[in-house]
Amino acid sequence: MSFNNLGLSEPLLRAIKEQGYTEPTPVQKQAIPVILSGKDILAGAQTGTGKTAGFTLPMLQLLSEHKKAGKKQKVSVLILTPTRELAAQVAESVEVYGKYLPFKSTVIFGGVKINPQIVALRKGVDIIIATPGRLLDHVGQKTVDLSGVDFLILDEADRMLDMGFINDIRKILAILPKERQNLLFSATFSNEIKKLTDTLLKSPALIEVARRNTSSEQVTQVVYSVDRERKRELLSKLISEGEWKQILVFTRTKHGANRLSEQLTKDGIHSAAIHGNKSQNARTKALAQFKQGEVRVLVATDIAARGIDIDQLPHVVNYELPNVPEDYVHRIGRTGRAGSNGEAISLVCVDELELLANIEKLIKKEIHRRVIKGFEPDPSIKPEPIQKKKGQQQRGRGRSHQQPKRGTKTSVLGPSGGDNTSRPRKPRANSSSGRGR
């Protein structure tokens, strides 16, 4: 099947062609006709599947049909994303695919000055791509009019809920017109997501590319069993001997990320760490160097890594398994992106066997285990309890959306605004000036 058979208009097909896409991805094949038919959809598609074009293309097509029908110049489309980096990436896709159409879009997120956003909104836009917190600030200040929105997209809905946005989402839903088409994209399906979809979606078409709660098919997954004290040594060996070039490594803590990055650099493997304690400039720089191949290893915490969009990232390493199994799916979604293969490697010590079992239960697959000669685990080592981050048990409750540092720049490169897993949300009253939002 080619893009020509999907019912998209010439200006969209031209933009697609310019991107060099020859064939729609599975999520695009499934989602585009259904969205064009006007139905709500619930799509289980993770990052890297081509989901952004999967909703942007039909949205633009419908918008052009509506505009022809003479609809008023109000905001028609609202796309909500969990992080500002994702918002910026989606906005970029809207620009790219909508290049030959006359629609205006703008991106709204916190951590940057609110005034330029107000100016852009005042000029009139058709499409808003926003993170929930800052959008609500605009609603509060009456600088945005959502009364014409008849198309809503929730992208990475599971992350939005994980980050404590449910109340913000509900507030936004309450002010949107009732008659509208809704699309919800999520990599995983928790009970919270099901609750949200029950209230949000009207007899949605279900679209599942990767099976529910399974990890991307294009990713080869392997577990290396190793003692906790020897992980760094094993990682250095794997990188050097495998001649791996671009490796994203996940650690559980910011401190762990720093330490590992320093140790790898001492081993002669150029590394950088990104996490919420680093300045936005430092993070943007590290990510740019990583993309350009100047930094070989990027060590990141889960939240800092959100929104990193690097095509064909060949290696993702779980230096430590995440406490929350869904994070494993998100982590390895960084590799094996549209059409390319990737490898997800987990270094697992005796402390993490329960975490591994939970992950395998979630993805409904046993991950192949390997032991490297010279790194055989010592059977006399007993498991130690894994230190949970403060607030880990409270995951998803009372947690703020990204609150990037003040004065940071808008950047599609920048990793997420902060590792605020344990930081409570500031009361809205304190932030209505737009500070840090």
Where on the chain is the footprint of ligand AMP (CB under 6 A)?
21, 23-25, 28, 47-53, 309, 311, 337-339
| Least gap, CB of 286 to ligand AMP (angstroms) | 21
**Full DSSP string of 390-437:** TTGGGTTSSB----PPTTPPP-SS---S---TTPBPPPHHHHTT-TT-
The CB-of-70 to ligand AMP minimum distance in angstroms stands at: 32
Nearer to ligand AMP, 116 or 339 (CB): 339
CB of 93 to ligand AMP, least distance (A): 7
**What does the alpha-carbon distance between residue 227 and residue 224 come to, in Å, rounded to a whole number?**
10
Strand order in the sheet with 297-300: 271-274, 297-300, 247-250, 315-318, 342-348, 219-225, 368-370
What minimum distance in Å lies between the beta carbon of 50 and ligand AMP? 3
CB of 341 to ligand AMP, least distance (A): 14
DSSP 165: -
For ligand AMP, which is the closer residue by CB, 24 or 404? 24
Burial bucket for residue 16 (CB in 10 Å: 0-12, 13-18, 19+): buried
| DSSP-derived 3-state class of residue 383 | coil
Question: In 3D, which of 73, 63, 76 has the Cα closest to residue 123?
Answer: 73
User: Please, what is the minimum distance in Å from the beta carbon of residue 375 to ligand AMP?
Assistant: 35
Q: Which is nearer to ligand AMP, 254 or 337 (CB)?
A: 337
Residue closer to ligand AMP, measured from CB, 50 or 418: 50
Nearer residue to ligand AMP within complex by CB, 3 or 109: 3
| Distance, CA of 347 to CA of 372 (rounded, Å) | 11
Q: How far is the CB of 51 from ligand AMP (least distance, A)?
A: 5
DSSP label at 75? -
Map residue 119 onto helix, strand or coil. Answer: helix
Query: 110 vs 336, which CB is nearer to ligand AMP?
Result: 336
Q: In which element (H, E) is residue 97 found? A: helix 84-97
**Pure H helices in 231-387:** 231-242, 254-266, 280-292, 302-305, 325-332, 353-363
Q: How far is the CB of 418 from ligand AMP (least distance, A)?
A: 22
Task: List, in sequence order, every residue forming a beta bridge with 297; answer none if it has no partner.
Answer: 247, 271
Closest CA to 415 of 73, 84, 96: 84
Nearer to ligand AMP, 50 or 417 (CB): 50
Type of residue found at 174: A
Using the minimum distance from each CB to ligand AMP, give the nearer residue, 3 or 375.
3
Query: Least CB distance from residue 258 to ligand AMP, whole Å?
Result: 29
What is the closest distance, in whole angstroms, from the C-beta atom of residue 22 to ligand AMP in the complex? 7
Residue 143 or 341 with smaller CB distance to ligand AMP: 341
Least CB distance to ligand AMP at residue 19 (A): 6
Which residue lies nearer to ligand AMP by CB, 48 or 111? Answer: 48
Query: Of 6 and 356, which has the nearer Cβ to ligand AMP?
Result: 6
Cβ atoms of 78 and 138 closer than 8 Å: no
List the helix and strand counts (H, then E) for the chain.
Answer: 16, 14
Cα(64)–Cα(62) distance, integer angstroms: 5
Query: Among residues 81, 92, 97, which one has the least CA distance to residue 306?
Result: 81
CB atoms under 10 Å from CB of 113, counted, come to 11
